[in-house]
Chain A
Amino acid sequence: MTKINDFVVRFANVNGTGSASANLLFAKSIFRMGIPVSPKNIFPSNIQGLPTWYEVRASEKGYLGRREGIDMVICVNPESMAKDIESVRPGGYFLYDSTKPLHQRYYREDINYTGIPLMALSAQYFHDPRQRQLFKNIIYVGALSKLLNIDFEVIEQLLSEQFRNKEKLISLNVQALKLGVEYVEENYSYPLDIRLEKRDLVKDKILIDGNAACGLGAVYGGATVVAWYPITPSTSVAEAFEKYAKKLRVDPETGKNKFAIVQAEDELAAIGMVIGANWNGARSFTATSGPGVSLMNEFLGLAYFAEIPTVLIDVQRGGPSTGMPTRTQQSDILAAAYASHGDTKHVLLIPSTPKECFEMTAQSFDLADRLQTPIILMNDLDLGMNDWMSDPFEWDDERKYDRGKVLSAEDLDKIEKFGRYLDVDDDGITYRTYPGTHPTKGSFFTRGTSKNEYAGYTEDGAAYERNMDRLIKKWETSKNYVPGPELYQEEKKSDEAILFFGTSKYAAEEALDLLAEEGIEIDAIRVKAFPFNQEVADFINSHEKVFVIEQNRDAQMRTLLMLELDAAPSKLISILNYNGMPITADLIKNQVCANLTVKNS
């Protein structure tokens, strides 16, 4: 049966061999043909020589989550070949480099083999060893264009954009593509029964990774001081900020930067710098992953207790400890929500798309200034490091930054006595001053120790309690500011529901369709922030059974719902995925079905 615009192709490469750009060319060609596409890098924590995979899903229906069942593997890595052949679904395709014959043990009866002498073709036409290596990758893209029916003009166009004004490079690439095309034309029947057809389904969407969107969001959100320490998978957030800031934030007259970036000595220093800069009235952020969050705990407690705006982007990876540095998880939820000793809790924003990465990063600076507390953006490796088809970014030019409650010299002149921690407005949020504002008024001492309303050190239990209670009042206030959940139905239509967040969105939405095909219609909610606001509480209260979908072992979001909303544990059913690979719709559908079937029988 021919399947149009519905396949998963997996490339098995050796890392450090230039396969990434060829694979991206393949994915982007599909995108340019107007077909929804989602590419994923499955890479090792290594620079050169280890197996790396790139999985591309094309979906007429617009599903961008990971799907089980690989239709075709393009294998240019002998090391992982046995495993790669295993991964092809029955009836699927295995494309390999046939420069050397395939060993008998690699033959399976139920799949199709497509041998293309990639190395031999490359060696025949290219002489430089590095070029041979690189163009081998382009040759398979050429072959795939025939086998899967990719519009050749689209690929040529992409190449000409990529190598603008470098005619020689363009023609070499086109030549390599044609080697693949011609080999297929001469040796195989094409296109295959899995193939592409041009559509107009992409519309105005863009293709970008979540980390780059965060970096851009920080530029738009007015961040000026960035301190960071390299760690996978968050490094590209700071790099993206630098790239965009250099393009958009350099004073054309003086050549000076309207930003400052420091690569810190460690994560502790990175968050310390962010706190120092925000204390002094600049917008500042850092980005890290789980191990960095662990190191930043002490400072997060300080920022919470001393009430200093702080923005932290956590691109989650597989934990605990060093864990799986290049695999995805949502396993920092509790560590972030309650980071640091003592009674602390932090505001979390949970984006699902690059557009939300952009918006929530920009918004986190407003929230941090408004609430004078750390705001932690819970990104993950899957969203952060993979390219996603996303709605385009938007910005309202009328938008003003919310700098929160900050007193100017004129304000200070008008008031009798400034109390840094005095709850004047009865919302738990107090007024601050920046250093250097007024010669004789408004100075105060910022400290991590207990203090009274006037920032004076105190060990008086009553004053301490008043302060801690005010922080809880502020926490309640914050519920009015954080983004509410996305509800998938206007009115309740089922007693059962699924609840999910972050990158589980894609698989969960697809699972809703799969369940509907089985005759199961259930409600759904996507949580976008912590603390949970009333809408989340109401949703859980109004359903008898809520499947909580998350990508960690310990059901951390479920725990948070139980702790913060008093949700009954018995009605919260966990659907968990924590093998480091993004969750799939099939997994969700199967577990929901299994649970509901048991109930019905």
Chain B
Amino acid sequence: MTYIKPEFRHPNLPVNEVGFTKKEYEGRISTLCAGCGHDSISAAIVQACYEMSIEPHRVAKLSGIGCSSKTPTYFLSNSHGFNSVHGRMPSVATGANLANRDLIYFGVSGDGDTASIGMGQFVHAIRRNLNMVYIVMNNGCYGLTKGQDSATADKGSMSKKGAPNPFAPIDLVSLALELEASFVAQSFSGDKGQLIPLIKAAMHHPGFSFINVMSPCVTFNNNKGSTKSYDFVRDHASSTSVLDFIPKKEEIKVDYEEGIQVKVAMHDGSYLSLHKLARDWNPLDWVSANEALIKARDRGEILTGLLYINPKSNPLHDTLKSSDKPLNTLKEKDLCPGSKKLEEINSSLR
């Protein structure tokens, strides 16, 4: 199903602070199945970037292989994209980020791409606290090869053909939290109201921002008995909070009720405002976030929202003490020590 997207643009479309219409954040027409959760996530990314007035060319979008990894074609056409090889997006993103620390990096992956073939690179990107947004479009199956179970499929979850999955799932959220990823969130493709502010917050967080998005596969894993179907996720999602992202220009005027509202200051002066729905959990406390996640799992709930954030984490560039000026802008005079130094080196080798 491929057709040409109309070029027509309404002359009076509103523009954001940097002068772009929302259309300029869109991508090509999606070739995913109608009703695919992934398309909703693409739309959420478009909305978040537009509302945050990010110049589209200041974003680089990277992916691996699979249905989810095709989506960077469907958002931000004015951004450079890189569809790399299966499971290896994190390493390409690491190199790209090291080359230019000034861009925003969107990594899009799937449950096969991250939880199986790319597990090694995923956990090491977390370990280095690479400054990027890492979105997993999680549907518990391999869509592009027609519906095999993935490593995130729940034990007992029924496939379209009626076979229960015999293996325990890898829970990417628990894993990311265990590794102390500095921003861990979970959401549902059908809940834009939650997803958009999460994406905004993730883009502002100066470290590894992980968002696991339950994104049902309408074609191969939306049947009765599947724990990754629209109905199942909708019935079992339990939101931890209502999140708002507040740009630095807007002052926070509301007084917050202690224990319900949490205000998290971001490095650039902006704020996250969390309206907590669960009292016994603190997203700034790692132990508490773990506890909440384990309890929810025990209750059979899918905990959604921003589950953990460490606003003071040290991103990779700080750890490496790399220059503030992007490395890809350095020229001969910055990089080449010259012949005089070389002669000194020669002398030391005689």
Residues B121 and A393 in contact, CB atoms below 8 Å apart: no
Interface residues of A in 183-232 (CB under 8 A from B): 204-208, 216, 219-220, 222, 224-225, 227
Q: List the one stretch of B37-45, B191-199, B238-246, B333-341 in contact with chain A.
A: B333-341
Q: Which 4 pairs across A and B sit closest by C-beta, in order of nearness?
A: A276-B95, A272-B91, A282-B99, A273-B95
- The CA of A256 and the CA of B335, in the complex, are separated in Å by 13
Using Cβ atoms and an 8 Å threshold, which residues of chain A touch B78? 439-440, 443
Which interface residue of B317, B336, B339 has the most chain A CB atoms within 10 A? B336
User: A61 in the interface, Cβ–Cβ < 8 Å?
Assistant: no
Residues B121 and A395 in contact, CB atoms below 8 Å apart: no
Residues B58 and A273 in contact, CB atoms below 8 Å apart: no
Interface residues of A in 427-446 (CB under 8 A from B): 433-440, 443-446
Size of chain B's interface in residues, with CB distance under 8 A?
Answer: 62
Beyond the given A248-B337, A272-B92, could you list 8 further A-B residue pairs with CB under 8 A, ordered by the A residue number?
A205-B350, A206-B350, A277-B98, A278-B95, A279-B92, A282-B98, A282-B100, A445-B73
Residues B88 and A272 in contact, CB atoms below 8 Å apart: yes
B295-332 vs A, CB cutoff 8 Å, 1 = contact: the mask equals 00000000000000000000011001111100110111
Which residues in B have some Cβ–Cβ distance to A below 8 Å? 20, 24, 55-58, 60, 62, 72-73, 77-85, 88, 90-100, 102-103, 120-121, 124, 128, 316-317, 320-324, 327-328, 330-332, 334-339, 341-343, 345-346, 349-350
Query: Shortest CB–CB separation between residue A419 and chain B, in angstroms?
Result: 15
User: A251 in the interface, Cβ–Cβ < 8 Å?
Assistant: yes
Residues B349 and A394 in contact, CB atoms below 8 Å apart: no
Name the CB-closest residue of A to B79.
A443
Interface residues of A in 241-296 (CB under 8 A from B): 244, 248-249, 251, 254-262, 264-266, 268-282, 284
User: A447 in the interface, Cβ–Cβ < 8 Å?
Assistant: yes
Residues A219 and B337 in contact, CB atoms below 8 Å apart: yes
Name the CB-closest residue of A to B322.
A260
Assess A299 versus B60: contact at CB under 8 Å? Given A435-B80, A446-B80: no
Query: Shortest CB–CB separation between residue A487 and chain B, in angstroms?
Result: 28
- The CA of A281 and the CA of B80, in the complex, are separated in Å by 12
Size of chain A's interface in residues, with CB distance under 8 A?
Answer: 72
- The CA of A275 and the CA of B93, in the complex, are separated in Å by 9
Chief secondary structure at chain B's binding surface? helix
Residues A393 and B328 in contact, CB atoms below 8 Å apart: no
Name the CB-closest residue of B to A401.
B332
- The CA of A437 and the CA of B79, in the complex, are separated in Å by 10
Using Cβ atoms and an 8 Å threshold, which residues of chain A touch B328? 224, 277, 280-282, 434
Residues B57 and A436 in contact, CB atoms below 8 Å apart: yes
Using Cβ atoms and an 8 Å threshold, which residues of chain B touch A227? 91, 94-95
- The CA of A346 and the CA of B63, in the complex, are separated in Å by 25
- The CA of A261 and the CA of B20, in the complex, are separated in Å by 37
Residues B80 and A220 in contact, CB atoms below 8 Å apart: no
Query: Shortest CB–CB separation between residue B230 and chain A, in angstroms?
Result: 29
- The CA of A362 and the CA of B123, in the complex, are separated in Å by 33
Which residue of the partner chain, among A207, A224, A447, contacts B327 with CB atoms under 8 Å?
Answer: A224
Assess A392 versus B346: contact at CB under 8 Å? Given A265-B121, A269-B121, A272-B88: yes
Residues B324 and A279 in contact, CB atoms below 8 Å apart: no
Query: Shortest CB–CB separation between residue A350 and chain B, in angstroms?
Result: 23
Which residue of the partner chain, among B55, B88, B94, B128, contacts A299 with CB atoms under 8 Å?
Answer: B88
Interface CB pairs A-B, < 8 A, 8: A244-B345, A248-B341, A257-B321, A258-B330, A277-B328, A436-B58, A437-B57, A443-B81
Query: Shortest CB–CB separation between residue A161 and chain B, in angstroms?
Result: 9
Residues B350 and A260 in contact, CB atoms below 8 Å apart: no
Residues A276 and B346 in contact, CB atoms below 8 Å apart: no
- The CA of A35 and the CA of B22, in the complex, are separated in Å by 74
Residues B120 and A256 in contact, CB atoms below 8 Å apart: no
User: A448 in the interface, Cβ–Cβ < 8 Å?
Assistant: yes
Which residue of the partner chain, among B120, B321, B342, contacts A395 with CB atoms under 8 Å?
Answer: B342
Residues B57 and A281 in contact, CB atoms below 8 Å apart: no
Name the CB-closest residue of B to A227.
B95
Interface residues of A in 391-411 (CB under 8 A from B): 392-397, 399-401
Using Cβ atoms and an 8 Å threshold, which residues of chain A touch B103? 280, 435-436
Using Cβ atoms and an 8 Å threshold, which residues of chain A touch B317? 260
Assess A264 versus B91: contact at CB under 8 Å? Given A248-B341, A448-B85: yes
Residues B339 and A396 in contact, CB atoms below 8 Å apart: yes
Residues A302 and B84 in contact, CB atoms below 8 Å apart: yes
Residues A261 and B320 in contact, CB atoms below 8 Å apart: yes
Residues A220 and B93 in contact, CB atoms below 8 Å apart: no
Using Cβ atoms and an 8 Å threshold, which residues of chain B touch A401? 331-332
Residues B100 and A446 in contact, CB atoms below 8 Å apart: no
User: A590 in the interface, Cβ–Cβ < 8 Å?
Assistant: no
Assess A265 versus B80: contact at CB under 8 Å? Given A220-B342, A257-B323, A445-B73: no
Using Cβ atoms and an 8 Å threshold, which residues of chain A touch B120? 265-266, 268-269
Which interface residue of A278, A279, A400, A448 has the most chain B CB atoms within 10 A? A279
Query: Shortest CB–CB separation between residue A399 and chain B, in angstroms?
Result: 8
Residues B99 and A224 in contact, CB atoms below 8 Å apart: yes
Query: Shortest CB–CB separation between residue A272 and chain B, in angstroms?
Result: 3
Interface residues of A in 49-71 (CB under 8 A from B): none
User: A298 in the interface, Cβ–Cβ < 8 Å?
Assistant: yes
User: A449 in the interface, Cβ–Cβ < 8 Å?
Assistant: yes
Which residue of the partner chain, among B57, B92, B334, contacts A258 with CB atoms under 8 Å?
Answer: B334
- The CA of A484 and the CA of B339, in the complex, are separated in Å by 25
Residues A282 and B327 in contact, CB atoms below 8 Å apart: yes
Using Cβ atoms and an 8 Å threshold, which residues of chain B touch A224? 98-99, 327-328, 330, 335
Using Cβ atoms and an 8 Å threshold, which residues of chain B touch A443? 56-57, 77-81
Using Cβ atoms and an 8 Å threshold, which residues of chain B touch A274? 95
Residues B94 and A272 in contact, CB atoms below 8 Å apart: yes
Which residue of the partner chain, among B72, B77, B324, B336, contacts A220 with CB atoms under 8 Å?
Answer: B336
Name the CB-closest residue of A to B95.
A276
Using Cβ atoms and an 8 Å threshold, which residues of chain B touch A435? 57, 60, 79-80, 96, 100, 103
Residues B81 and A445 in contact, CB atoms below 8 Å apart: yes
Name the CB-closest residue of A to B58.
A436
Residues A258 and B335 in contact, CB atoms below 8 Å apart: yes
- The CA of A255 and the CA of B324, in the complex, are separated in Å by 11
- The CA of A281 and the CA of B328, in the complex, are separated in Å by 5
Which residue of the partner chain, among A219, A256, A273, contacts B98 with CB atoms under 8 Å?
Answer: A273
Using Cβ atoms and an 8 Å threshold, which residues of chain A touch B72? 445
Residues A207 and B96 in contact, CB atoms below 8 Å apart: no
Residues B342 and A394 in contact, CB atoms below 8 Å apart: yes
Using Cβ atoms and an 8 Å threshold, which residues of chain B touch A392? 343, 346, 349
Using Cβ atoms and an 8 Å threshold, which residues of chain A touch B324? 254, 256
